[in-house]
Amino acid sequence: MPERKIAVASGKGGTGKTTVAVNLFEYIRSFDPRPVQLIDCDVEEPNTGVFINAGELIDEQTVAVKVPVINKNKCLYCGKCAEFCAYNAIIFVKSVPYIQVMPDLCHGCGACTYACDVNGAITERDNPMGKVFHYRLDDQSTRIEGQLDVGKPFAVPVIRQVKKTADPNKLCIIDAPPGTSCPVIETIHDVDYVILVTEPTPFGFSDLKLMVETVRQTEVPFGVVINRSGLGNREVYDYLDWENIQLLAEIPFDRAIADAYAGGKMLVHEVDGIKAVMKQIWEQGIGILNHK
């Protein structure tokens, strides 16, 4: 039976998104007998492995995008493929004539191959984008991590493959990429619940508003965790009240938390009170799902 997928997201990096994801995962592992997976979709900078014992690597996959290769001996220079390309990844100049594929602009959608009527004028090759690593932590827990290759432009195919690799019958805690663009939409559009992490500062408030708009487009239920509470002002709290958004929990601005984080340690093991915060996040978020 399909299990729930919970994503932890934030509008910008550095708000504590990964901290919440890994500590929630660790908290669930501590009491729940069900298998649970930690899914790192922050493929440009995956760092869940800094906090969680890396475990045993059990699978490694390369993620590639299919880009067209034009056979200039067969091409009739009609330009149809370039017309069909919504991403301007094919340069075509009829008067020369000249045709060239720009691999780093190509999304691998296949429209150009579909458009070409000339047999053999277009073939395809793999353009590697990144890798997906699957680690076994113990009998019940796994961690799946996507990594975008340095300089590669498209995170979405890697994120898609990370999610495909996950077992749908196991509970998933997903560390989403920061931001509000395609990578985060790809990560959260089909999950059961999104935990948004913010901080009570003007930057945190501004990013939270953008993130709330993004999540609302997906229609996935969500709640908010305020990290470093005690900093800044009340704007975030007033906004949550006004928008009727659930505040799941607060993580205080605290020296012990900062020290544990800087040392790559798990807060649930190192800092008093954090286990109770994770319990609250879990019960509030899952409590909402259970009543749906």
Q: Going residue by residue from 46 to 75, which x/- string records binding to ligand SF4, judged by CB under 6 A?
A: ---------------------xx-x----x
CB-based contacts of 1-5 (< 8 A; 24+ apart in sequence): 1/169, 2/168, 2/169, 3/34, 3/168, 3/169, 3/170, 3/171, 3/172, 4/171, 4/172, 4/192, 4/193, 4/286, 4/289, 5/171, 5/172, 5/174, 5/190, 5/191, 5/192, 5/193
The answer to the question of residue 278 lying near ligand SF4 (CB under 6 A) is no
CB 24 within 8 A of CB 52: no
Pick out residues in 227-266 that bind ligand SF4 (CB under 6 A): none
Structure token digits, residue 136? 């076994």
- In the complex with ligand SF4, the residue whose CB is nearer, 127 or 280, is 127
Residues in a beta bridge with 224: 196, 247
Least distance CB 120 / ligand SF4 (angstroms): 9
- In the complex with ligand SF4, the residue whose CB is nearer, 50 or 114, is 114
In the list 50, 54, 57, 76, the residue contacting ligand SF4 (rule: CB under 6 A) is 76
CB 9 within 8 A of CB 215: yes
Pick out residues in 84-123 that bind ligand SF4 (CB under 6 A): 84-85, 87, 89-90, 99, 101, 106-112, 115-116, 118, 121-122
The answer to the question of residue 81 lying near ligand SF4 (CB under 6 A) is yes
Least distance CB 80 / ligand SF4 (angstroms): 4
The answer to the question of residue 80 lying near ligand SF4 (CB under 6 A) is yes
- In the complex with ligand SF4, the residue whose CB is nearer, 116 or 156, is 116
* Helix 202-218 vs helix 235-243: crossing angle, to nearest 10: 20
Instruction: Tell me the pairing of strands 90-93 and 141-148.
Output: unpaired
Binding stretches for ligand SF4 (CB under 6 A): 67-68, 70, 75-81, 84-85, 87, 89-90, 99, 101, 106-112, 115-116, 118, 121-122
